[in-house]
Structure 1
Amino acid sequence: MTTTRIAVIADIHHGQDTLTKRGSVALPLLERFVAEVNAGSFDAVIDLGDRISDEAPERDRLLESDVAMCFAKLAATHHHVSGNHDVAFLGLADNEAIFDRPSGSRSLIIGDVRCVFWQPDVSLTRTRGLRLSAGDLDVLVQLLAQDDRPTLLVSHVPLSGHSQTGNYYFEANPGRAAYAETDAIRAAIVDAPCPIVALAGHVHWNTLTTVDGTSHLSLQSLTETFISGDPAEAAGILDIEDGVLRWTVTGREPLSVTLPWPGTKSRWRAPLTSFAASAVA
């Protein structure tokens, strides 16, 4: 098996500066990312969404177009999911037209790696939180069921439901960091015939969480400042070869993780019942 190498970027947030997002430097940082990818050897680039900080329909169209022009300079094929900021005033169809790439749910092969891109509803308001729309979960189940090969599951919002304690945005707002239907999503991943590693953005954090034997990775934002005070300049590299996945994050908050990339799905033993209600100590 040859090595499949994928560059990953998340939460670019091109647009105005805010208290914690340095949107004014997003394009120069993205241009540098593109140049580094072009100077390397990559099978593809994955963009995890939230390419802009939304303002208004026409302004967002211009911001997305700026980002699209940067991606167009890539020598490698690029694949996208859209985040809540990308669709605050624009639709998925608008994003697809601007980037000339699909943004909907789909399954494809990158190098030797099967990838499932899941694009459920990412609409987010102060009162709504994150909720799936009718049919979103069915699409995930159907895509995962199509193949039993190891699968990289890509989404904007993390699917692990991991703790947000310490997160600047989400410690007090956990309903904006995960879907209300997280339990059902986890069940769909457990029931899938394929071993899965899940990859997402949205929470502006480098994390590794294991749920039911599935590894969930999230990537820090390119322009986020809440940890170091300066833009994180985060970019990810996935190297997958011979039963091993290596995940490397560069920038101000570097991370390196090695995970198994098993050929078949393993089933964990059912957890014990409560010790308090059992004779097992």
Structure 2
Amino acid sequence: MTTVPSLQLNDGNSIPQLGYGVFKVPPADTERAVSEALEVGYRHIDTAAIYGNEEGVGAAIAASGLSRDELFITTKLWNDRHDGDEPRAALGESLEKLGLDAVDLYLVHWPTPARDNYVHAWTKLIELRDAGLSRSIGVSNHLVPHLERIVAETGVVPAVDQIELHPAHQQRAVTEWAAARGVAIEAWGPLGQGKYDLFGTAPVTAASVAHGKTPAQVVIRWHLQKGFVLFPKSVRIERLRENLDVFDFTLTDAELAAIDSLDQPDGSGRVSSDPNEVN
């Protein structure tokens, strides 16, 4: 079975670098998909309250026979649960659905800047971590101004920032800020969600031919060598295996640089929502 490397987080915990995400996996399919992911070797599962499929993740965990310490489970606080003591209630609901006493990572899903309550949400996540309900805490879709503010007002640096990241949208302002502070970057939509012809670009095609790997495997390898955690999504077991078969080759510095050059620094490569506009 493939052994996925782990990265050490800034709080001393470790995280498997390649995981399985269940964004847009229908609730009815989630138990099967996660069970298959665990069967082929994934141990890091990323879900969220808003996905509506935490119960399926929990059922797959319960049926897997794996010990709790073999797994890394992430879920997220949705935008309408930031105020008051709602984060604690929300995490309690997620834990019940997952069948767990604690998650390994709990994230503020979006900063929702127009609501101006993401600092409060972050303060509550610190309390939840201290209460042992999540081993690590972090954020998702937070840009540099959001990150700077939560650190300035609480003194606590997130362990993780999970952001849209793929070759056309590399978010270097965020990744450089994070690297300077030991914040792990998790890439969602790491293959561009099929919304542009990433696999047909010259750098990806050339590396695919050179290494005898699929374009998807090349892009996954690019993320790994950049030091990102990522969650390529599939509900097909053959693709799950393919996405995990990326540890027997290494991209050259020239190949990495060529894929780096696909970035659209003006933000035009974004394929999903702007974090400043999600509220």
State the TM bucket, normalised to the shorter chain.
0.3 to 0.5
TM-score scaled to structure 2, two decimals?
A: 0.43
TM (norm. structure 1) is 0.43
**Higher share of residues assigned helix:** 2
Structure (1/2) with the larger strand percentage: 1
